[in-house]
Structure formats: C-alpha cells, structure tokens
Amino acid sequence: MLHIFPKRIARWVLMATALMPAAAFAQLLQGQIPNMRAYDKTGINVFEARKDTSATFNGPTLRIGAGFTQEFQNLKHENATTKAGNSGALYGISPGFNTAMANLYTDFLLADGIHLNVAVYLSTRHHNEAWVKGGYIQFDKLPFKGEMWDDLMKNVTIKIGHFEINYGDAHFRRTDGGHALYNPFIESYIVDGYGTEIGGEVYYQCKSGLFGMVGLTNGMIKGNVDSPVNNAVNGNIKKNPAIYGKLGFDRQLNDLIRVRLSGSYYHVNSSPSNDLYNGDRAGSGYFMVMEKPYVVPADGTSAYAGDAFSGRLMPGFSYKVDALMFNGFAKIAGFEVFGTLEHSEGRTNTEKSNRQFTQYAVDGIYRFGHAENLFVGARYNNVLAELKGISTPVTVERTAFSAGWFLTKNILLKGEYVTQKYEKFPTTDYRNGGKFDGYVIAATVGF
C-alpha cells in the first residue's frame, strides 16, 4: 500500500499547482526554509546544513522541489567466458537511453525552526512505481519558552523520522535516483554505504567549525514488528538498534580555501536485515553491466529492477556490521579534492565469523567559468573485499573521468568515461576476468 499514497500526493500537487497563478507557483518553488540543503547547484559541497537561528519566521511555508535525470549509456562488458567466445555468458547490452528517474521533495516550515521533509521516488530503476524514500521532522528551535532552550538550540539540531542516515560524507555527493546534481560523476562508490532507517540524530555545531553527531535507529530500511527467526548458526537473532556517530571539522579559512575532515562509525550487533550496503531503493546509474543473463521470475520482475545495482559490490553484512569511514575535503579556488577511506566488517546470519572489506576513493574536480558553471574531474575507487563463498579476497577497481556544464543553477549536462575491472575472482564466478568500460551522458534537473 505504501507505493499508492505517493501517486495520490503527486496527483494532488499537480492539480493544485495547475490552478495557481504563475507568481504563486514561483513562490511555492522558492519558499525559503532555513537550515536546509538546496536541491540546485547551490547545494553542491554542502554536507550538514550550517546552523542558522537568525532567520525570521513569517508563517508556515511550503516548498516543492524535484530531481529529474535522463541518461544515454554506451557501455561494453566482458568476462573470461565471453573472451573465450561464449557471447551468452553476460546480459546482452547495447547503446541506448536508460530508464528516466524522478524524485519529488516537499518541505514544510511548520513553525519557527521546525521543518518537515517528505521525499518520494516517482520513478526509479529499482521501483518503477512511486515509492516513499522517507520523511523526517527537524528541530533547529524548540517550541518551549525559556532562555535555557534558546541557548541550547543555538548549536543543536535534532532530526527524527525515517531518513537518510548520516554515515560518512560520501552520501552527500552520490546520485540519488532522479537527483544527480550533487554528483560530478554518474555513479556512487563501488560499495555504497547508504541507507534510510527509522530513528533520530542529534547534531552539535560550533562556530569554530567543529561538529559532532550521534544517531540511534532501528538498523533496517523499513519498520518491522516481526519476531526474528532463529537459526542453528547464530541462535537467538535480536533486533538490536544501530548506533553511529560522526566527528569533524569544516571551515572556510578565507575567501579561497575551505577544509573539511570527518570520521564516522556505525555499529549493529544483531539484525534480521541490516541494509547499510544494500539500502538504495533507486538503483545504479550503470544499467545491466556485469550481470548474468536474466531469467524473469514468477512475479514478473524485470531485469532492470531485479538486477538494480549493476557495477556495485554488495558485501552482504545483513546480520552484523562494524563500519568506519574517514573523509577529507579541500577546495582551493576552483580546485577541489574529496577522499574516502572505509573499513568495514560483518556477516550474514548464516556465517560464524566476520568478513571484511577496505575501500578507498579520491575525486579531483576543477570548476571554472562564470560562477563555476563548468567542471572536469577524475575519480579512482578501489575495493579489497572478502565475499561469502569465496575463499580469497577479491578486488574491484574503477577509474572515471567526467565533465559537466551547468546551463543554469537547476540544469546540468554531464558525461563520464568509466573503466571497471574485477580481479582475483575464482574461475567458477561469472565476474572472473570481468571488465566494463565506455561512456554515459546524463541530463539532470534539480530545484
């Protein structure tokens, strides 16, 4: 039933806006809500929104935003079997347009310093039907009178609901369904540490640039009241909460130089279905690369939805996870560098001992032109992982080069050339000798 309601919401919004005068519609789109990351170009390189308690409250405000992306893909893939002449060993792909993706955002300023967000995937690769990503309420002020509360909330932000958890900094630069303006490349990392969970986060930000965050959630992508099913390997499987946090420093040192450093930790001791590395409901920007020929199941799920995460590596830590991510960001005039070092270990509920992986990535971007409306970039991403059922560690390596042009602050045309290699996979694995390369061009809108 969950996917039905977003369709109704979208229909009501379209009907209401169709009856509005143009001026009123523009006001709806551009309504000012403080302490919120913009969905257009001005949201680039924004991580946690900077705390602002000086904004004047002029009554409840509604703001509607969206993200739309259409890609053209020309990628080729191969593995050891195709190199030997068996063309049917991988899913057949050819140049063409990928499924267009679209997101809808509604942000409500309910009261002074109280902001409600609801995000909806209108169309994605993983879910062609509309689907709620999540919704949360954010408190930058509390509705209590007293100097004590005012002083407390000068530095504190509280977020409660079902939201994108703040583990690491990489999720601030990833492509999220139809919203791809923040990402100077086409895809997210090979191992995508991203998820939406139910719970709360508390932030503390200092004017010096120091900040911290602690979070507590259910550790799963959706609500669950079912009793966990025990098994012979791990016995009593419990629904333990996810506990995570972040410490960092982020400061504009002068007109030309900005520096940010952060460290994040995420822990779940026992879960029926943790989705930290499998929590994306939208899907990959690389369609059907390095996938086996698809057999349509009884429920009729299409190949695009059934194999929605092409090009990514899923470590399979669904029962227990301990993850640590360090990020560094520096921007000097038009040059920016963003780096990630991540180490994680965990297992499924049918394994006795933990496996682990290490991932590192570095982006180099140069933004130039009027208001930095042009950019070129390069990324290197490497993962060394222990996978279930494979006795020795495997490696996946990606190199990507990109270029982009912001026609306006809401419209971006970007392209990427990518090469990804799969190394040390056993001969019985379809990824043995695997590789894909080629280019993807994307037109994306965000407002």
- The rounded Cα 135 to chain-centroid distance in angstroms is 15
Q: Give the model's confidence band at 2: pLDDT under 50 very low, under 70 low, under 90 confident, else very high.
A: very low
Burial class (CB in 10 A: 0-12, 13-18, 19+), 369: exposed
Contact residues for 26 (Cβ-Cβ < 8 A; gap 6+):
none
Asked if residue 192 lies in contact with residue 88, where contact means CB atoms within 8 angstroms, the answer is no
What was the pLDDT predicted at 238? 86
The DSSP code for 293 is: P
Query: 15 pLDDT exceeds 90?
Result: no
Q: Which residue has the tokens 């509005």?
A: 20
Q: Give the model's confidence band at 27: pLDDT under 50 very low, under 70 low, under 90 confident, else very high.
A: low
Asked if residue 17 lies in contact with residue 10, where contact means CB atoms within 8 angstroms, the answer is no
Which residue did the predictor score with more confidence, 4 or 311?
A: 311
Q: Per residue in 347-405, pLDDT tens?
A: 999 999 999 999 999 999 999 999 999 999 999 999 999 999 999 999 999 999 999 99
| Amino acid at the residue 249 | F
Alpha-carbon distance of 81 to 217, in angstroms, equals 44
Query: 17 pLDDT exceeds 80?
Result: no
Q: Per residue in 247-287, pLDDT tens?
A: 999 999 999 999 999 999 999 999 999 999 999 999 999 99
% residues pLDDT > 90 (the chain): 80
For residue 118 the two structure tokens come to 């609801």
What was the pLDDT predicted at 9? 52
Q: Give the model's confidence band at 432: pLDDT under 50 very low, under 70 low, under 90 confident, else very high.
A: very high
For the entire predicted model, the pTM comes to 0.91
Q: Per residue in 198-243, pLDDT tens?
A: 999 999 999 999 999 999 999 999 888 888 777 777 777 889 999 9
What was the pLDDT predicted at 31? 66
Residue 59's φ and ψ, nearest 5 degrees, are 110, 165
CA-angle at 130, arms to 43 and 97, nearest 5°: 75
Alpha-carbon distance of 156 to 318, in angstroms, equals 32
Q: Give the model's confidence band at 1: pLDDT under 50 very low, under 70 low, under 90 confident, else very high.
A: very low
Which helix (H) or strand (E) is 150 found in, with range?
Answer: helix 147-152
Query: 13 pLDDT exceeds 60?
Result: no
Strands 196-205 and 156-164: antiparallel
For the chain, the average pLDDT equals 92
C-alpha closest to that of 446 among 415, 414, 399: 414
Mean pLDDT for the stretch of residues 162-171: 98
Contact residues for 282 (Cβ-Cβ < 8 A; gap 6+):
101, 121, 124, 125, 126, 127, 176, 177, 178, 308
What was the pLDDT predicted at 4? 47
Mean pLDDT for the stretch of residues 178-185: 98
Contact residues for 369 (Cβ-Cβ < 8 A; gap 6+):
none
- The rounded Cα 283 to chain-centroid distance in angstroms is 10
Mean pLDDT for the stretch of residues 187-201: 97
Q: Which residue has the tokens 């009261």?
A: 111
For residue 391 the two structure tokens come to 């006795």
Mean pLDDT for the stretch of residues 167-189: 97
Report helix, strand or coil for 43.
helix
Alpha-carbon distance of 114 to 93, in angstroms, equals 48
Number of H helices, E strands in the chain: 5, 17
Q: Which residue has the tokens 């909330």?
A: 153
Q: How far, CA to CA in Å, does 99 sit from each of 73, 174, 257, 403, 440?
A: 10, 18, 39, 22, 13
Domains along the sequence of the chain with CATH: 4-446 (2.40.160.10)
Q: Which residue has the tokens 């969206």?
A: 66
